[in-house]
Every structure is written in C-alpha cells, then in structure tokens.
Amino acid sequence: MGLKTLLTDETIDKYLRAGRIASRVKKYAMKIVKPGARIYDICENVERKIVEEGGLPAFPCNISVNEVAAHYTAYISDPSTIPDRSLVKVDLGVHVDGYIADTAVTLAFDPKYDELNIAVETALERALEVVRPGIRVSKIGEIIESTIKAYGYKPIKNLSGHSIERYNLHSGVSIPNVKDFFSLSRIKPNSVYAIEPFGTSGVGYVVEGKEVYIYSLRREGKVKADLARRIIEEVKKKYNGLPFAERWLRNIVHSRVELVKTLKNLVKSKILNYYPVLVEASANPVSQFEHTVLVLEKEVVVTTL
C-alpha cells in the first residue's frame, strides 16, 4: 500500500510476467469451468495454478454466475456448482512481487448469451485499440457504451476499469464503461490500467447483495480479541493490502461461524474493507471481459493477451 509504481525495465518485466501467467491461467480456467463443476474446486484450482506458474493471486478467483456481476468467490465448504445453461464470469488476478495483472472472460453455456458476450468482448477490443497517453478516460467509456448499445444491450454504468500500482489493485483513476462527462482524467504514460466493460440485457447497474466473501486490510488497528489479532497479522504479512478470501483463512480457526463473525467485527471497526457480491439490479445476466494494459510513452502493451 502506498508504494508508488516506478516503471523500470525490471518492474515492466514483472508486469509482463504477471500478465503471461494470468493469460495461461485464464485459458486453464476456461477448460475447468463447466456446468456441474464445484465453484470451490474451480477457485482453489485456479489459485493453485497461479502459484504453480510462478505468481501469486492478486485477489481471490471470482466466479460470478448469471445476474451476479462480480465479487463472488467460494466460501468455506461452499457446495454450489456451475448451473446448466448459465453465463459465467471468471475474473482472476496475478501478481509478481506486487506487480499485478487483472483479466476476465465470460463463458456462455447457452447460445442465447453468445451475442451479449460478443458485444462486451468487442467493446473491450475497441477500447484497447484507442488507449494511449493523453486520451480522456471518458472517451474510452463512450466507445465502450456505444459498442455495447449497438448490439442492443446496456453497459453497467456503476462498474469501471481502474489504474493499477504496485500492491494496489484500484489505485485511484477509474475508466468508466459509459460516457461520463464528469471524469476529466486522461490516460497517463508509464501507467498500468485494467479495462473491463460489463454489459447486460437488464437495466444496467449493479446493487450490493448481502453476501460478503472478500475483504482487504484497510488499516492496522489495535484489537484485543486473539482471533482478530491473528487475522490481522496473517493478512498483513501474506497479502500486503491486496484483497483476500474468507476461504484463505480456513486454517486459522476451525469454526466458520466464528471466523465470519470476527471478519464482520473488523469491518465494523473499519480495520477491514469488504466487497459485497454485486448483482445486476433487474436480476438480468451480465457479461464481462477484461485485460490489463501497460501504457508506455511510445507503446501500449496488453499484458494479459
């Protein structure tokens, strides 16, 4: 947290390595995600593959089904499986020494979703064609919005892409998925961005669900309870401010009830951030595609291709 991204040959190499690993793991995920598969096993296998390839997860593997747009990861003992005829988003992050790659793909297990996927993937391709130093982020949003609308769908207006810095997944600049007159920011050279259009056949915005399976350390507070203290120590040491899953703490305490209660208390005392599951407001299916780009002075490299 708070470490400024310095793009040198060495840090560029780490961003590229994270990107190559993310790309390989995404291809692996596309093979194991299928109707009937347990979401718990998918998340664990994706995260294990990231480590096998030489990276570390930059956040828990997100598997979001149908109207769930983002932030679903398996919880401890999660029995849920990929439903038949579903639309499944796989969003994964890899870091190498804190240098992050963030990428997502959506798999349609019913051909009725194919066109929505084409709309959103085309929007991402168009955005990647124009991203360069100096372009307004609102211009990128305008291109995403018009591409998705041309297919008869809506972009999700309250989800956006983001700038990335070392150990900082959302480092301040947002890349809107609609033409946003209020975002005056421009793409800066020597910066890293994740571009991630979301599209839907629904009303086009998400609301927070009740479930929370992902957290991150917000500040190091003094706590009395032994379990809370052990959680803070563990996540500080292992994740350095990056998001983590409830599931990743399963060896700290045997009772899930106790773990979740402690996590909720740490959210209340503002020591942890929490990321509720995000659901399309009209409960219609959502598609997402995402790549990470390294914007240099004279070239733009998509690290997760």
Q: How far apart are CA 14 and CA 153, in angstroms?
A: 37
* Closer of 192 and 271 to Mn ion (Cβ): 192
**Letter string b/e over residues 136-163, b meaning 16 or more CB atoms within 10 A of that residue's CB:** ebbbbbbbbbebbbeeebbbbbebbbbb
Q: Please, which of residues 92-131 interact with Mn ion by CB under 5 A?
A: 102, 104
91 interacts with Mn ion by CB under 5 A: yes
The CB-of-233 to Mn ion minimum distance in angstroms stands at 27
**Minimal CA–CA distance to 128: which of 187, 87, 59, 190?**
187
* Residue numbers annotated as active site: 91, 102, 162, 170, 196, 290
The CB-of-268 to Mn ion minimum distance in angstroms stands at 27
Q: Which stretch binds Mn ion (CB under 5 A): 12-20, 85-93, 138-146, 183-191?
A: 85-93
165 interacts with Mn ion by CB under 5 A: no
* Closer of 160 and 262 to Mn ion (Cβ): 160
* Closer of 108 and 175 to Mn ion (Cβ): 175
* Closer of 274 and 289 to Mn ion (Cβ): 289
Strand partners, 95: 56, 100
Q: How far apart are CA 120 and CA 149, in angstroms?
A: 10
Q: Please, which of residues 182-241 interact with Mn ion by CB under 5 A?
A: 194, 196
Sign of the torsion angle spanned by Cα atoms 105, 108, 112, 114: positive
Amino acid, res. 140: I
The CB-of-59 to Mn ion minimum distance in angstroms stands at 8
Q: Which stretch binds Mn ion (CB under 5 A): 88-96, 173-181, 232-240, 241-249?
A: 88-96
User: Beta strands 56-65 and 154-155: pairing type?
Assistant: unpaired
Helix axes 256-268, 226-239, angle to 10 degrees: 80
47 interacts with Mn ion by CB under 5 A: no
Per CB under 5 A, residues contacting Mn ion are: 91, 102, 104, 194, 196, 290
